[in-house]
């Protein structure tokens, strides 16, 4: 049982026909991009300059937030990653989901263009970062 559990905890390639075991997330991302031509993340904001000290909130959203094993993560062709994570696109441009495509689209905050893992997290993000009046918050009047 311990051996089976340790197999699940390894960084196994999400492609079912591939037996590659990576040494970590970075290695797995490089393998998926290099060998399979797909992405599990994206490297830069096309409309913003990346500052190394500033975290990139959307760059590896699924890896950071989804509670699943490495081999269970989805991979995307480069042209469909922007549909999965709409914040990649420039402001004003909407992603076009192909007919018959069966994958989730992460909800995006229209104010700061940060994607969240699901609608509940988007609601919490909106409440914490955008919707509360600073006067009401200072006076202890919350969500009335």
Over residues 106-121, the pLDDT tens digits come to 888 878 888 888 889 8
- Hey, is 141 helix, strand or coil? coil
Q: What is the DSSP string of 65-128?
A: H--S-GGGS--B-HHHHHHHSGGGSPTTPPP-PPTT-------B-TTT--B-SSHHHHHHHHII
- Tell me the pLDDT tens digit for each residue of 46-91: 334 333 334 455 567 777 777 888 888 888 888 777 777 777 777 7
Put residue 22 in one of left, alpha, beta given phi > 0 → left and psi -120 to 50 → alpha: beta
Q: How far is CA 54 from CA 49, 50, 57, 86, in A?
A: 10, 7, 9, 20
Residue 83 makes CB contacts below 8 A (sequence gap 6+) with 95, 96, 97, 98, 101, 103, 105
| Closest-CA residue to 84 (of 122, 58, 121) | 58
> Rounded to an integer, what distance in angstroms lies between the CA atom of residue 96 and that of residue 85?
12
| Closest-CA residue to 23 (of 34, 11, 35) | 11
**Per-residue pLDDT, 91:** 74
**Per-residue pLDDT, 55:** 44
- Rounded percentage of the chain residues whose pLDDT exceeds 70: 78
CB atoms within 10 A of CB 70: 19
* Domain range summary for the chain, segments of one domain joined by +: 2-116
């Amino acid at each position: 049982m311990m051996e089976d559990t340790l197999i699940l905890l390894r960084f196994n390639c999400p492609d079912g026909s591939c037996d590659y075991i990576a040494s970590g997330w970075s290695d797995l991302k490089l393998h998926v991009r290099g060998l399979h031509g797909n992405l599990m993340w994206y490297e830069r904001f096309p409309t913003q300059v990346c500052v190394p000290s500033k975290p990139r909130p959307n760059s590896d959203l699924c890896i950071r937030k989804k509670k699943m094993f490495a081999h269970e993560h989805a991979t995307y062709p480069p042209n469909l990653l922007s549909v999965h994570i709409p914040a990649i696109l420039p402001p004003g441009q909407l992603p076009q989901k192909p007919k018959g495509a069966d994958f989730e689209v992460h909800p995006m905050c229209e104010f700061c263009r940060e994607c969240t893992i699901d609608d509940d997290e988007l609601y919490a993000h909106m409440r914490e970062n955008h919707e509360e009046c600073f006067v009401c918050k200072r006076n202890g009047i919350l969500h009335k």
